[in-house]
């Protein structure tokens, strides 16, 4: 099942061409777009603890009205009751005790870099074997 | 809870689909892009923006990833990785319900949004189709969550649909706009990455 493989000739041609050239030029351009996205991600991660709204998100707000009657504790309790697995995340709620905003910045930034490394590593392992790899 | 188990089973089936995609289709060019998008999606999900009535929303990014990488499976894979890190490391979403989260934000959002985009791309152009794809993916998955919560006996159906739908109609506008602008930016700078169509230059 290859839903996405190039369904027009132009696309196939450009793919094959880039493979033939062993992607040296593509790699540089890729690096650029890679870096731009990473920089945006890092900026977002640093700003998020200061700019992000502390209002409940759409789902929490819905639960708050329909279940908690406006009381967050009721919702929290209900969630805890239904949680079959008693699991405590190491950095719960994106904050580190006693570190305030710095802890939040650190945990979101750390998470961003972790997911970057994790995805990069996993996808390198999973990816198809490229013809032009030495 | 047996319902959580069902969502996990569905999630695992689709995750294995996304791994198959990676094996067949993920090449040297797409690896860094996939990783960068995962980091970007993780960061952007931390950015809650106030909307109405004391509620906030954030971009999910599932449809964006699927459109940019040209496959619905890419979105499923990315959202799975992001949700696993959020749940395991930060306690955001929990482990039991992670299957349901992957089902909603990864699977429903990606499939609905990506195929909406594909259906509209040739008629409306890439920019508008991305906006509608992003909006639809988010909105439909929010309704799915309301139905799931109803099945689980947590909330009444009608009010749940109204509230979830109401909030996400608005959050979806943000999702759609970000999806459309990011897709346009990447399509114009690197048309070769995104499986392009001739008339898609919006």
For residue B199, the model assigns a pLDDT of 40
Mutate to test the interface with B, among A62, A74, A84, A121 (most CBs of B within 10 A): A62
For residue B94, the model assigns a pLDDT of 75
Q: What are phi and psi of B71, to 5 degrees?
A: -150, 140
| Between B152 and B124, the higher pLDDT residue | B124
For residue A10, the model assigns a pLDDT of 52
Instruction: For residue B195, list chain A residues with Cβ-Cβ distance below 8 A.
Output: 4, 6-7, 11
Instruction: Please indicate whether, in this complex, the C-beta atoms of B167 and A93 are within 8 angstroms of each other.
Output: no
Which residue of chain A has the CA closest to B198? A10
Rounded distance between C-alpha atoms, residue B69 and residue A33, angstroms: 13
Q: How far is CA B76 from CA A46, A83, B13, B79, B146, in A?
A: 26, 25, 11, 5, 21
Here the ipTM equals 0.81
Note which residues in 121-180 of chain B have CB less than 8 A from chain A: 142, 145-146, 149, 154-156, 159-160, 163-164, 167-168, 171
Instruction: Give Cα B71 distance to the centre of its chain.
Output: 12
Q: A49: closest CA among A111, A90, A106?
A: A106
Within 10 angstroms of residue A128's Cβ, the number of other Cβ atoms is 14
Nearest by CB to B22, from A38, A44, A126: name it: A126
Three-state DSSP state, B145: helix
Note which residues in 32-51 of chain A have CB less than 8 A from chain B: 33-34, 37-38, 40-42, 44-45, 47-49, 51
- How many domains does the structure of chain B reveal? 1
pLDDT in tens, B14-47: 998 989 888 888 888 888 889 999 999 999 888 8
Residue range of the domain that includes B55: 2-200
Per-residue pLDDT, averaged over B181-198, amounts to 75
pLDDT in tens, B91-121: 787 788 888 889 889 899 999 999 999 999 9
Instruction: Please indicate whether, in this complex, the C-beta atoms of B44 and A41 are within 8 angstroms of each other.
Output: yes
Q: Are B195 and A4 in contact (CB under 8 A)?
A: yes
Tokens standing for B142?
A: 């929010």
Q: A9: closest CA among B137, B195, B172, B88?
A: B195
Rounded distance between C-alpha atoms, residue B111 and residue B125, angstroms: 19
Rounded distance between C-alpha atoms, residue A48 and residue A40, angstroms: 12
CATH number at residue B169: 1.10.1760.20
Nearest by CB to B90, from A30, A63, A89: name it: A89
Instruction: For residue A119, list chain B residues with Cβ-Cβ distance below 8 A.
Output: 34-35, 38-39, 78, 81
Residue B52 contacts A where some CB pair is shorter than 8 Å: no
| Between B129 and B199, the higher pLDDT residue | B129
For residue A6, the model assigns a pLDDT of 44
Instruction: Please indicate whether, in this complex, the C-beta atoms of B24 and A93 are within 8 angstroms of each other.
Output: no
Nearest by CB to A33, from B33, B43, B51: name it: B33
For residue B107, the model assigns a pLDDT of 93
Q: Are B146 and A62 in contact (CB under 8 A)?
A: yes
Rounded distance between C-alpha atoms, residue A106 and residue B111, angstroms: 33
Dihedral sign of CA atoms B100, B104, B105, B111 in order: positive
Instruction: Give Cα B27 distance to the centre of its chain.
Output: 22
pLDDT bin (cut points 50, 70, 90) of residue B201 is: very low
Q: What is the DSSP letter of B60?
A: -
Q: Which long-range contacts link A17-26 to residues 24+ away (Cβ below 8 Å)? A: A18/B29, A18/B192, A19/A130, A19/A131, A19/A132, A20/A132, A22/A132, A23/A132, A23/B28, A23/B29, A26/B29, A26/B192
Q: What is the mean pLDDT of each successive set of 10 residues along chain A, which is 134 residues long?
A: 48 50 60 86 86 79 76 71 68 76 83 90 77 44
For residue A50, the model assigns a pLDDT of 81
For residue B127, the model assigns a pLDDT of 93
Instruction: For residue A65, list chain B residues with Cβ-Cβ distance below 8 A.
Output: 159, 163
Within 10 angstroms of residue A77's Cβ, the number of other Cβ atoms is 13
pLDDT in tens, B39-61: 999 998 888 878 877 788 788 88
Place of tokens 């995750």: B15
Q: What are phi and psi of B152, to 5 degrees?
A: -75, -5
Global pTM value: 0.82
Instruction: Please indicate whether, in this complex, the C-beta atoms of B160 and A57 are within 8 angstroms of each other.
Output: no
Q: How far is CA A99 from CA A88, A95, A109, B91, B95, in A?
A: 19, 8, 14, 18, 26
Per-residue pLDDT, averaged over B116-138, amounts to 93
Residue A102 contacts B where some CB pair is shorter than 8 Å: no
Three-state DSSP state, B50: strand
């Amino acid at each position: 099942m290859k839903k996405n493989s190039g369904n027009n000739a132009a696309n196939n041609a450009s793919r094959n061409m880039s493979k033939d050239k062993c992607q040296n030029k593509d790699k540089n351009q890729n690096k650029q777009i890679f870096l731009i996205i990473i920089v945006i991600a890092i900026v977002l991660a640093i700003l998020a603890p200061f700019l992000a709204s502390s209002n409940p998100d759409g789902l929490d707000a819905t639960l708050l009205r329909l279940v908690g009657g406006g009381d967050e504790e009721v919702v929290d309790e209900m969630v805890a009751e239904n949680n079959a697995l008693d699991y405590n995340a190491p950095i719960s709620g994106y904050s580190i005790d006693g570190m305030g905003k710095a802890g939040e910045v650190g945990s979101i930034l750390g998470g961003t870099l972790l997911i970057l490394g994790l995805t990069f590593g996993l996808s390198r392992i999973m990816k198809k074997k490229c013809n032009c790899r030495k | 809870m047996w319902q959580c188990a069902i969502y996990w089973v569905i999630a695992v089936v689709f995750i294995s689909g996304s791994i198959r995609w990676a094996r067949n289709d993920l090449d040297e060019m797409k690896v860094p892009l996939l990783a960068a998008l995962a980091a970007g999606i993780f960061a952007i999900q931390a950015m809650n923006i106030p909307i109405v009535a004391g509620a906030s929303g954030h971009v999910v990014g599932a449809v964006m990833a699927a459109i940019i990488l040209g496959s619905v499976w890419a979105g499923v894979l990315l959202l799975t990785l992001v949700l696993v890190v959020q749940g395991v490391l930060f306690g955001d979403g929990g482990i039991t319900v992670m299957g349901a989260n992957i089902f909603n934000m990864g699977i429903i959002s990606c499939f609905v949004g990506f195929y909406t985009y594909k259906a509209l791309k040739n008629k409306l152009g890439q920019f508008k189709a991305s906006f509608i794809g992003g909006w639809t993916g988010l909105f439909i998955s929010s309704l799915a969550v309301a139905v799931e919560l109803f099945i689980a006996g947590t909330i009444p159906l009608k009010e749940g649909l109204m509230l979830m739908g109401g909030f996400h109609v608005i959050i979806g506008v943000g999702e759609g706009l970000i999806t459309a602008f990011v897709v346009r930016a990447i399509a114009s700078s690197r048309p070769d990455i995104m499986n392009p169509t001739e008339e898609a230059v919006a």
